[in-house]
């Protein structure tokens, strides 16, 4: 085989390898946090209060994009359900980054989209603080932000 053919094969193999890798690689340590955010999106979409109750800490606090603070599980859940009713659509949370502060606290940054039935898409960012409670990851804080437009 000629050198250029071998180089071509090597380049093709590398390209195929990169195309088959997951877009967002996650470590085994991060997987439960990806699953936690997926569960949160599912609970919001389906207004599953039982699931929400299981994945939120008692003392959760949430700052939403309107500037409203929701403190405590009961208040946060009520606000989430009211918001889901007022802003119907599919909630898509795509984890961008996980950062562990220690073995039991992590920061999760995610792109947050609400795709409304009328076709409008609301783009935001969300940051979650997750804590390990009784061997289960739970959401302790949420910060939702609208991207800045203009200067």
- The pLDDT, as a whole number, for residue 14 is 42
Range with lowest mean pLDDT among 14-18, 43-47, 99-103: 14-18
- The pLDDT, as a whole number, for residue 40 is 94
pTM, entire model: 0.78
CATH number assigned to the domain with residue range 28-145, chosen from the 4 options 3.10.450.50, 3.50.50.60, 3.40.50.300, 2.30.30.40:
3.10.450.50
Number of C-beta neighbours around residue 99 at 10 A: 10
From residue 77, how far is each of 57, 70, 71, 81, 85 by CA, in Å? Answer: 11, 9, 10, 6, 12
Place of tokens 């599912």: 42
Q: Which helix (H) or strand (E) holds 79?
A: helix 73-86
Q: In whole angstroms, what is the distance from residue 120 CA to residue 5 CA?
A: 49
- Domain segments of the chain: what residues? 28-145
| pLDDT exceeds cutoff 50 at 51 | yes
Q: Phi/psi of residue 78, each to 5°?
A: -60, -45
- The pLDDT, as a whole number, for residue 148 is 67
Task: Give the mean model confidence (pLDDT) for residues 11-23.
Answer: 41
Q: Phi/psi of residue 59, each to 5°?
A: -100, 25
| pLDDT exceeds cutoff 70 at 72 | yes
Q: In whole angstroms, what is the distance from residue 92 CA to residue 110 CA?
A: 9
């Amino acid at each position: 085989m000629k050198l250029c053919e071998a180089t071509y094969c090597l380049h093709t193999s590398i390209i195929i390898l990169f195309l088959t890798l997951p877009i967002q690689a996650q470590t085994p340590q991060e997987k439960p946090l990806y699953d936690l955010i997926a569960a949160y999106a599912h609970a919001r979409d389906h207004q599953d209060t039982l699931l929400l109750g299981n994945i939120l800490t008692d003392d959760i606090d949430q700052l939403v994009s309107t500037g409203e603070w929701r403190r405590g599980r009961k208040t946060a859940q009520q606000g989430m359900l009211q918001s889901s009713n007022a802003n119907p659509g599919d909630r898509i949370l795509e984890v961008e980054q996980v950062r562990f502060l220690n073995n039991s606290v992590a920061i999760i940054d995610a792109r947050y989209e609400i795709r409304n039935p009328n076709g409008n898409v609301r783009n935001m960012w969300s940051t979650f603080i997750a804590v390990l409670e009784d061997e289960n990851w739970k959401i302790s804080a949420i910060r939702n932000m609208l991207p800045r437009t203009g200067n």
